[in-house]
């Protein structure tokens, strides 16, 4: 990260700018903004007015700040003049939404007749701003325009936003149809608010008069399924003859007798998704010790469900491997690799040959595939010897004048706003790596990582893909806990992409995505007091608690891979997986993790961990393998 900061510093001082050469003018700008933030509005107005003479490039920002100073002094007309100047001359300014919102606020203060048109224009431009839409609806209601208000209240009610309940209180029961309730429930389901969705769906059933029942029942079954009320969801899906979701619910409810009884009807339905269910059932059978039945089910999928054939063929080979039928497994993996080219199949082909005692060449003629978990496994086993260089080389670009001024004045929030606006409207892909460096310099690591991850040939930009973020905190904690800093970074990268404000649908918070209950419990053990859930977002506290919890899991399982799995799925679940199966090596455990989400998570974290170890600590494949314990008799 220091290298990136050096590059950006070099860029900032390398480009000549007459605008920034006059440091007294820059001082007016910086002092004016500082005065505004500290509440010294008269001084802010004076300094910003002087800055306007020099910094025409960011005139919209300065006018907006000065309008705020006028507003705080109740000089509403003067504030409106500045805001209208921005609207007139900067129709593509990133501040335009805030400008129009500020204008509405002032017009409301003045009880202006122009307020209604300002509201309407704003809602047309920004229909997703539900707060302003709600305020507009209330204003219409005050002005006795009840039909227009009701229309807006209903639009807000149909969302899953925090304003939906307030909007509902402004509607009568007869204003809301069964169709409205279904739309509302779908929005809530999409927002992971399944219990609340259930409430509205049950209301819809009483209003529907049977004509919409199938749609209501399907969504009700889905909301119950997502609440893990599988028996109830199975009963709902039976009513509407949805074989796929009925079967899926039965498997989750572990009602295998009903699933077996109804299986012929599922197959007769012709639904190609049934192949997915059968694969799941085959894995359940195999884990229960019924390998023969498992194999027969998989063969049925291979023969009858083309869309599931590759996955079924993989599990057929996996069954053969775990059963010790290495010759059959090798042939299955070879067929898969030859047809689909996935390195996963090549890796397990080689692992099968290892089991058979077959010695193979050390290196393949295949290229390393970036971000492919199996590339790293093959590399660690010496099957791929070359990985391309990872030096981040960025061509010099000229920083746009507006952004340059904001950065030199150290207005980070405004610089980020400007930069993201540039990115939103940027069609020149070659500038993306350069902009990612600027994002890093401004502290928005999350946007940078996400952006560079989508960039073609991004393996050349490893320092952007795998930045050393919050490294002082990470290094200090890693020494204290005897924990690899690379592992902490890998967990953070895959949990939140380094977004310290991240919130998951399940309610996990911050950089290391801590559930509030877990965070509070573990925090007490290290003397960190969490009085309010918002404290979990704090960088120091989040990394401290997350790192301590991770170290505790490593001590408990005596294996990094098992600890990573437990970080995602929980300790009890991982202990049950270990106790119920006999895995000779840890790569077998990874491949056989029953939860698809956890299996993918472990692979992602290990991929990032591997990259951090290799890039920043210059470790050999053998040393990395030793640390991760990915091979070599780690029996569990």
Confidence of residue 371 (pLDDT cuts 50, 70, 90): confident
pLDDT of 16 reads: 43
- Kindly report, residue by residue over 474-532, the tens digit of the pLDDT: 999 999 999 999 999 999 999 999 999 999 988 999 999 999 999 999 999 999 989 99
pLDDT of 391 reads: 63
pLDDT of 15 reads: 42
Quick one: tokens of 316? 């057929």
| Average pLDDT score over residue span 119-145 | 97
- For residue 363, is pLDDT > 60? no
In contact, 606 and 376? CB cutoff 8 Å: yes
- For residue 335, is pLDDT > 70? yes
- Kindly report, residue by residue over 415-432, the tens digit of the pLDDT: 999 999 998 877 677 888
> Tokens 């899906």 belong to which residue?
237
- For residue 244, is pLDDT > 90? yes
pLDDT of 390 reads: 62
Alpha helices in 191-229 (DSSP H): 194-207, 213-226
Nearest C-alpha neighbor of 511 from the set 502, 520, 519: 502
pLDDT of 542 reads: 97
Rounded Cα–Cα distance for residues 105 and 110 (Å): 9
Phi, psi angle pair for 75, to nearest 5°:
-95, 70
Nearest C-alpha neighbor of 570 from the set 486, 613, 475, 506: 506
Rounded Cα–Cα distance for residues 544 and 552 (Å): 12
pLDDT of 632 reads: 37
Sign of the dihedral through C-alpha 504, 508, 509, 512 = negative
Q: Which helix (H) or strand (E) holds 242?
A: none
**Roughly how many angstroms between the first and final C-alpha of the chain, as a whole number?**
38
- Kindly report, residue by residue over 28-72, the tens digit of the pLDDT: 999 999 999 999 999 999 999 999 999 999 999 999 999 999 999
Rounded Cα–Cα distance for residues 179 and 616 (Å): 56
Domains assigned to the chain: 2-171 (1.25.40.10), 471-628 (1.10.530.10)
- Kindly report, residue by residue over 290-299, the tens digit of the pLDDT: 999 999 999 9
Rounded Cα–Cα distance for residues 562 and 339 (Å): 32
Nearest C-alpha neighbor of 344 from the set 334, 331, 353: 334
Residue 508 contacts by C-beta under 8 Å, 6 or more apart in sequence?
Answer: 495, 502, 514, 515
In contact, 78 and 48? CB cutoff 8 Å: no
Q: What is the DSSP letter of 503?
A: B
Partnered with residue 514 across adjacent β-strands are: 509
Nearest C-alpha neighbor of 220 from the set 258, 182, 165: 182
Rounded Cα–Cα distance for residues 120 and 28 (Å): 37
Longest dimension (CA), the chain: 87
Nearest C-alpha neighbor of 561 from the set 386, 377, 344: 377
Rounded Cα–Cα distance for residues 352 and 340 (Å): 18
């Amino acid at each position: 990260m220091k290298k990136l900061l050096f590059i950006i510093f070099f860029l900032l001082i390398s480009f000549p700018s007459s605008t920034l050469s006059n440091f007294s003018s820059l001082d007016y700008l910086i002092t004016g903004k500082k005065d505004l933030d500290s509440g010294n509005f008269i001084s802010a107005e004076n300094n910003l007015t002087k800055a306007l003479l020099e910094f025409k490039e960011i005139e919209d920002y300065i006018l907006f700040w000065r309008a705020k100073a006028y507003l705080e002094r109740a000089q509403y007309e003067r504030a409106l003049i500045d805001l209208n100047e921005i609207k007139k001359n900067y129709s593509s300014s990133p501040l335009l939404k805030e400008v129009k919102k500020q204008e509405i606020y002032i017009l409301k203060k003045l009880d202006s007749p122009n307020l209604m048109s300002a509201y309407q224009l704003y809602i047309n431009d920004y229909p997703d701003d539900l707060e302003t839409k709600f305020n507009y609806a209330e204003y219409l209601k005050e002005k006795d325009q009840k039909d227009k208000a009701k229309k807006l209240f209903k639009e807000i009610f149909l969302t899953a936003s925090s304003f939906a309940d307030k909007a509902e209180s402004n509607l009568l029961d007869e204003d809301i149809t069964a169709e409205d309730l279904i739309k509302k429930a779908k929005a809530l389901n999409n927002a992971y608010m399944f219990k609340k969705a259930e409430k509205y769906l049950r209301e819809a059933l009483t209003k529907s008069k049977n004509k919409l029942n199938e749609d209501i029942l399907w969504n009700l079954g889905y909301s119950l399924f997502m609440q893990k009320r599988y028996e109830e969801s199975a009963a709902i899906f039976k009513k509407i003859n949805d074989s796929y979701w009925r079967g899926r619910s039965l498997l989750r409810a572990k009602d295998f007798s009903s699933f077996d009884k109804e299986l012929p009807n599922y197959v007769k339905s012709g639904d190609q998704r049934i192949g997915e269910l059968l694969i799941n059932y085959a894995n359940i059978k195999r884990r229960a010790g019924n390998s023969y039945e498992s194999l027969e089910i998989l063969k049925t999928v291979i023969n009858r469900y083309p869309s599931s054939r590759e996955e079924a063929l993989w599990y057929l080979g996996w069954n053969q491997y775990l059963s010790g039928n290495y010759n059959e497994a090798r042939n299955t993996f070879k067929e898969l690799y030859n047809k689909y080219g996935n390195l996963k199949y090549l890796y397990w082909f080689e692992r099968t040959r290892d089991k058979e005692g077959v010695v193979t060449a050390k290196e393949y003629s295949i290229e390393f595939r970036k971000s492919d978990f199996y590339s790293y496994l093959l590399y660690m086993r010496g099957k791929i010897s070359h990985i391309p260089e990872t030096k981040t080389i960025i061509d010099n670009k000229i920083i746009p004048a507006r952004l340059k001024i904001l950065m030199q004045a150290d207005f980070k929030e405004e610089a980020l706003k400007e930069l993201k606006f540039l990115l939103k409207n940027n069609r020149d892909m070659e500038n993306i790596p350069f902009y990612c460096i600027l994002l890093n310099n401004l502290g928005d690591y999350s946007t940078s990582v996400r952006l560079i991850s989508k960039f073609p040939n991004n393996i050349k930009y490893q320092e952007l893909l795998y930045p050393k973020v919050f490294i002082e905190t990470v290094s200090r904690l890693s020494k204290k806990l005897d924990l690899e800093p690379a592992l902490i970074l890998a967990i953070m990268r895959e949990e939140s992409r380094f977004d310290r404000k991240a919130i998951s649908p399940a309610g996990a918070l911050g950089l290391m995505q801590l559930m509030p209950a877990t965070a509070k419990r573990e925090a007490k053990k290290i003397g960190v007091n969490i009085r309010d859930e918002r404290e979990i977002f704090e960088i120091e506290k989040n990394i401290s608690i997350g790192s301590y919890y991770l170290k505790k899991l490593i001590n408990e399982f005596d294996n990094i891979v098992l600890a990573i799995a437990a970080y995602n799925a929980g300790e009890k679940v991982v202990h049950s997986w270990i106790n119920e199966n006999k895995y000779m090596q840890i790569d077998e455990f990874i491949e056989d993790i029953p939860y698809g989400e956890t299996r993918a998570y472990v692979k992602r974290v290990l991929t990032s961990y591997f990259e951090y170890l290799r890039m920043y600590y210059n470790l050999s494949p053998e040393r990395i393998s030793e640390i991760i314990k990915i091979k070599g008799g780690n029996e569990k």
